[in-house]
Amino acid sequence: MDGHPATPGLISTRPPRWLAPVLAVAVGYYLAARLGFTFTLKPYPISTLWPPNALLVAVLLLARTRDWWWLLAAALPAHLSAELQSGVPAAMVLGWYASNCSEALIGAGLVRAFIPAPLRLHSLRNSAAFLLCVVLAAPLLSSFIDATIVRLIGFGDSPYWDLVSRRFFSNVLAELTVVPLVLTWAAAVGSGAKALKPARYVEAAALAIGLLGACLLVFEVPHSGRQTSPALFYIPLPFLLWAAVRFGPVGIATALPVMTLAAIWGTVHGLGPFVSEQPHETARDVQLFVIAVAVPLLLFAIALDERERLERDSRAQLTHLSRVATLGELSGGIAHELNQPLTAILSNAQAARSFLASKTADPELLAEILEDIITADQRAGHVIDRLRAMFKRGETHFEPLEVNVLVREVATLVHGDLTTRGVQLDLRLAERPLPVKGDRVQLEQVFLNLMMNGAEAMAACGSGDRVLTVGTLATAGKVHVNVVDHGAGFAVPPAKLFEAFYTTKPNGLGLGLSISRSIVDAHGGKLWASTRRGGGAAFLVTLPSLPKG
């Protein structure tokens, strides 16, 4: 320090960014350690479930590698204050800190070597890495380190192999229950968990009550002394399956710790089917039971989730592909649509230059010209904005929308195409706003498809008949968009039109209408097709309207 006062700009009144994670690690580690102590089956010093190490692994897996060191350091004060209360020699307390950190570093380090990003349990590949590195390798290797340290310090008189195996199973169980819990919840919160429907809350509550009831029934009854029926162990299983199938990885990762805590709590209090004369056997039985249930169920939930995600992805990919194909067909029209404002800008600017050169320019005229140039530029910009949005392959994003606005935007996009086809657009929009909830790009994709189909259907019509009518209308709780052409209509049953790969166009993919229908379905609406008596086809999109407020 050179004694100069610190630059005022460097002093921040806000707490530093590292403070929250450090406090979270310290408090979490301390509480986890206290919890671990309560699961100790006296007289053996090793807890049945020791969660602090697993918590550290989870934190490291979520953090950037360069932050690991101070996150581990943050656990030290928590470790000391938790362990020193138990009257263990200071050297042993520090030794345990070292072995706990080694477990976290081995587990997280190995995973990071395979998957160089914060770990997400959303694929079987990631889950395999998790099981091998975190659940198996980390407890195994660190238990040898731990037992070696205990022997070197000379603490207690347990045989070396007993130390290794007891600590191993205790930590396997902890890794298996704590890490998925933290990782899946972090992912759910991080992805901005959507507000669930009330029915899902009711279901979750019913599941929680059922699971707790089952656990009470199995694990919290006095031990009768006679051989327990093995069938009893299966009672929580339906609820765990329920959690895995209906609530995915988060569900099972939450349900498993609940059952684990119930089983261990009962056992520690002399209740349930696991109690035996030998405390270490009792502990082993509980641990093996939970491990045997947890591994397949976790994998099952993750596999199910991965498959759903892949299906969702390929559907989104197909939707995007079809949209890009449609925009490709539209490219000539879009060039026209951009050329118009460019023409207006150039001609206006050259006119202004001529007026100025000939000294016949009055300020009012020049202001009008500039105003038109601005309008033309904004028009081109708007087309490009919409195009960019439609070309992008984004996540589905539901938001409150106004159907009239969407129809007008699509009308701008197809304007050039309709013009080159000599089609007149007759917009008959409802006067009041028509609110719906939906994905803007996807709904625009539907309207774009219907309008382009309608325009193409009229290629053979006379110029007076080439009119595309697009109307919007609200009825009780519903919003309707009607796209009507004066073409030849269609000769097949309407259902055929919506089949994938059915097309009447020489270069068509046959995806437009089938994808339009699935988009409308996903919005809780319906897409209908009908032939009009006077010739031509009518497509009707009906969407649930968004209640006000």
Binding footprint of other proteins on the chain (CB under 8 A): 332, 335-336, 339-348, 350-352, 354-355, 358, 360, 365, 369, 372, 375-376, 379, 416, 418-420, 422-425, 463-464, 466
Query: What are the residues whose beta carbons fall under 8 Å from the beta carbon of 129, sequence distance 6 or more?
Result: 110, 111, 114, 115, 119
Kindly list the distances between the CA atom of residue 468 and the CA atoms of 17, 174, 227, 277, 517, in Å, as whole numbers in the listed order.
Answer: 58, 66, 80, 85, 20
Radius of gyration of the chain (CA): 34
Give, rounded to a whole angstrom, the gap between the first and last alpha carbons of the chain.
60
Report the nearest approach of other proteins to the CB of residue 373 (Å): 9
**Nearest residue (CB) to other proteins, 318 versus 351:** 351
Report the nearest approach of other proteins to the CB of residue 368 (Å): 8
Query: Collapsing DSSP states into helix, strand and coil, what is residue 518?
Result: helix
Report the nearest approach of other proteins to the CB of residue 417 (Å): 10
**Nearest residue (CB) to other proteins, 65 versus 343:** 343
Whether residue 43 is preceded by a cis peptide bond, meaning omega within 30 degrees of 0, is yes
**Nearest residue (CB) to other proteins, 315 versus 336:** 336
Report the nearest approach of other proteins to the CB of residue 388 (Å): 21
**Nearest residue (CB) to other proteins, 355 versus 490:** 355
- Tokens linked to 136: 């198996």
**Are the C-beta atoms of 264 and 48 separated by less than 8 Å?**
yes
**Are the C-beta atoms of 268 and 196 separated by less than 8 Å?**
no
Report the nearest approach of other proteins to the CB of residue 376 (Å): 5
Residue the block writes with tokens 């249930």: 293
**Are the C-beta atoms of 172 and 291 separated by less than 8 Å?**
yes
Euclidean distance between CA atoms 182 and 199, whole angstroms: 25
Per DSSP, what are the bridge partners of residue 479?
A: 474, 543
Report the nearest approach of other proteins to the CB of residue 254 (Å): 60
Supply angle C-alpha 364, 368, 373, rounded to 5. 145
**Nearest residue (CB) to other proteins, 156 versus 332:** 332
**Nearest residue (CB) to other proteins, 317 versus 343:** 343
Pairing of strands 424-428, 467-475: parallel
Report the nearest approach of other proteins to the CB of residue 370 (Å): 12
Report the nearest approach of other proteins to the CB of residue 60 (Å): 60
**Nearest residue (CB) to other proteins, 191 versus 354:** 354
**Nearest residue (CB) to other proteins, 280 versus 379:** 379
Per DSSP, what are the bridge partners of residue 402?
A: 435
Q: Which of 474, 401, 478 minimizes the C-alpha distance to 442?
A: 401
